[in-house]
A and B are shown apart, each in its own frame.
Chain A
C-alpha cells in the first residue's frame, strides 16, 4: 500500500530521470554497487547471517579446514572464521567509512572556500595540503598510537588531522577553474553572499573528483586499519577485525592456511567492489582522474 502511494505521488518527470540515470550507469558501476550492497547487508544483518557467535570458542573443532558447517574453517581457538569475517566487516566498513567521509566533508569545504577566495587563505591552504602529501602517514599514526595507546581512537585522531588535505587539494584545484566561469560571475553580480556562491553554485561542480577519489581512499583506509591491527597497534583481539584475524593466523600458516587467507579475501573483495564503483563513477561523472591515486 505504502509503496504504491509513494509511486503515485512521484511526479512522472522524476521517474523518467531516474530511469535515464540508471540506464547511463556502466556495467562496472552496477557490478561494484551490487557487490558492495551485498557486503554491507551482510555486515548490517550479521547476527542473522553469521551461523555462529564470532567469539564462541569450541575446543572440539580447533583448526578445522573449510567444510559445509564451517564455510571458512575454524581458527586455533575453534572459532568459526566465516562468522568472524562477517562481524569483522561491521568494524572495518564503519571505521573505513568514518575515516573517509568525515575528513572529506571539511576537506572539500576548506578546499572549495580557499579556491574561491584566493589570497592569503588560499596560500595557507595550498601550502598545508602540499606539505601533507609528503607526510609519512602511517608513521604519524604510529606516533599518536605511542601517545594515547593502540585502538581506533588514535587512528581516528590522526586521520582527522591529516586526511582532509587530499580532499582540500582536489576541491581547491577544481574551484580555481570554476571560479572564472560565467555562472559564478553571474552569481557574484547578482550579489549572492560568498557562502551561497561556494556552497550552492560552486560545490556541486567541484565535488566530482573528491567523490571518485573517496572510493580509493575508502580502500586505503581499510588497508590502513587492517595493517595497523596486523602489527598490533590497531584493533585488539578478541574483537573480530580482518587485519587482526590475519595476524592471528600467522603462526598457524603451515597447518591452517585458511585462517590468514579468508579475512584477506574479504578485504580484496570489498576493495575490488569499491574500485569498480570508483571506476564507474569516474566515467559517469566525467572526471579525468582514475579511481586510483
Chain B
C-alpha cells in the first residue's frame, strides 16, 4: 500500500518534466526565422507542395491544438514524421536507443565500481595522505572535459596499445560490451569524482551515528561496520546525487557518442540539427526527457527500497 502510493506519487511528479521539455521544444521551434518547411526542403519544392506539407502536418492549426495533438500522438508512440529523412520519427529514434542505453548503463556501472572503493578507503582513513590524494584526484577529474578524456583514451588504449575498439558499436552482446569500455570509462571520469565526494562525505556522516557506536561496542568487526552498517546509510545520498546528475550524464553522453562515433541518440541529435529536421529534434528531446525521468524514477524507487522511511516521508 505504502509502496503503491509512493510509486504513484513519483510517477505523477515526472509529468511536469515531460510537459516542460516538450513545451520548451515546441515553443522554441516556433521561433525559427523564416519558413521551417522551406528550410527543411532546401527550397526544392513549389509553393503548392509546401502548402500541402503544411496541411498534411497540420501546421496551419492553432498552436495549442498542434501541441495537444503532438502530445496525444506521442502517448500512442507516434512522434510525427521526419520531412528530411521521409520516415516516421519513432522509427528513426527507435533504432538509436540501444547504443545510448548501453553507454549510460556501462558508464554508470563503471563510475560506481570506481567510486566505491576509493570513497570507502578515503572515509576509513579520513585526512590521511590517501584521503587527500583521492580528493585532489577527484577535483582534477571533475574539471576534465569528457570529450578530451575520450580522445586521450583513444590515443592511449585504442591506437597506442591496440587493446580496445575505438569507434562504432559492434555486433552481438560481447562486441557491444567491448565497444562500450572506452566510452563508458570516459563517462566514469566525469561521474566518479562527483560520486566519490558525496559517498565519502555521507560515509563520514554515517560513521558518526549512534548505531555504529553500538555495533562497535557489541564487537562487530570493523570491516563489517564499514561495509554493512555505514555503507547502507551512505548509499541513499549517493543515489540522490546520481539522480540529480543524470541530466548532466545524458548531456555528457551526447558528446561522448560523437567522440567514439557511436550510432546513438546523441549522434542523431547532432546530425538532425545540421539538417534542421525539426520533427526529429522534437521527438529526440522528448525521448531524452523520458530517459532522464525514468532513471530518476528508478533512483527514487531504489531509495525507497533501501530506506522505508523515504516511503513514509513521501506519503
Number of chain A residues whose Cβ lies closer than 8 Å to a Cβ of chain B:
53
Chain A residue at smallest Cβ distance from B196: A292
Query: Known contacts A231-B270, A267-B143; is A148 also within 8 Å of B292 by CB?
Result: no
A38 to B24, CA, bound (A): 40
A148 to B197, CA, bound (A): 38
A140 to B22, CA, bound (A): 10
Cβ A293 vs Cβ B148 within 8 A: no
| Per-position binary interface string of chain B over residues 123-165, scored 1 when its CB falls under 8 Å from any chain A CB and 0 otherwise | 0000000000000001110111111100110110001000000
- Which B residues lie within 8 Å of A261 (CB)? 152
Cβ B143 vs Cβ A131 within 8 A: no
Cβ B285 vs Cβ A140 within 8 A: yes
A133 to B299, CA, bound (A): 14
Interface members, chain B 208-254 (any A CB < 8 Å): 241, 244-248, 250-251, 254
Q: How many A-B residue pairs have CB under 8 A?
A: 168
- Which A residues lie within 8 Å of B246 (CB)? 134
Which of A71-79, A106-114, A193-201, A270-278 sits within the interface? A270-278
Query: Known contacts A127-B16, A230-B147; is A148 also within 8 Å of B33 by CB?
Result: yes
- Residue A220 at the B interface, CB < 8 A? yes
A135 to B245, CA, bound (A): 10
A258 → chain B, closest Cβ, in Å?
11
Contact for B255 among A137, A231, A268, A279, CB less than 8 A: A231
Query: Known contacts A140-B24, A264-B145; is A279 also within 8 Å of B269 by CB?
Result: no
- Residue B284 at the A interface, CB < 8 A? yes
A131 to B276, CA, bound (A): 27
Chain A residue at smallest Cβ distance from B16: A131
| Per-position binary interface string of chain A over residues 131-165, scored 1 when its CB falls under 8 Å from any chain B CB and 0 otherwise | 11111111110111111100000000000000000
Interface centre among B146, B194, B269, B291 (most CB of A within 10 A): B269
A275 to B140, CA, bound (A): 8
Interface residues on B, range: 35 or more
Cβ A260 vs Cβ B148 within 8 A: yes
A180 → chain B, closest Cβ, in Å?
20
Cβ B284 vs Cβ A226 within 8 A: no
- Which A residues lie within 8 Å of B144 (CB)? 264, 267-268, 271
Query: Known contacts A137-B251, A139-B285, A254-B159; is A246 also within 8 Å of B151 by CB?
Result: yes
A134 to B240, CA, bound (A): 12
* Interface of chain A, main secondary structure: helix
* Interface of chain B, main secondary structure: helix
- Residue A66 at the B interface, CB < 8 A? no
Cβ B145 vs Cβ A267 within 8 A: yes
- Which B residues lie within 8 Å of A136 (CB)? 21, 247, 250-251, 285, 288-289, 291-292
Contact for B147 among A243, A292, A293, CB less than 8 A: A243
- Which B residues lie within 8 Å of A246 (CB)? 145, 147-148, 151
Interface centre among A133, A136, A267 (most CB of B within 10 A): A136
Cβ B289 vs Cβ A135 within 8 A: yes
A146 to B30, CA, bound (A): 12
Interface members, chain A 226-262 (any B CB < 8 Å): 226-227, 230-233, 242-243, 246, 250, 253-254, 257, 260-261
Cβ B147 vs Cβ A279 within 8 A: no
Query: Known contacts A143-B281, A148-B33, A250-B151; is A138 also within 8 Å of B251 by CB?
Result: yes
Cβ A137 vs Cβ B248 within 8 A: yes
Interface centre among B140, B251, B281 (most CB of A within 10 A): B251
9 contacts across the A-B interface (CB closer than 8 A): A135-B289, A136-B285, A143-B24, A143-B25, A144-B28, A257-B155, A264-B144, A264-B152, A271-B140
- Additional A-B contact list (4), CB under 8 Å, known A134-B293, A135-B247, A243-B145: A134-B247, A140-B24, A140-B285, A260-B151
Q: Which 5 pairs across A and B sit closest by C-beta, in order of nearness? A: A271-B143, A138-B251, A264-B148, A275-B139, A136-B288
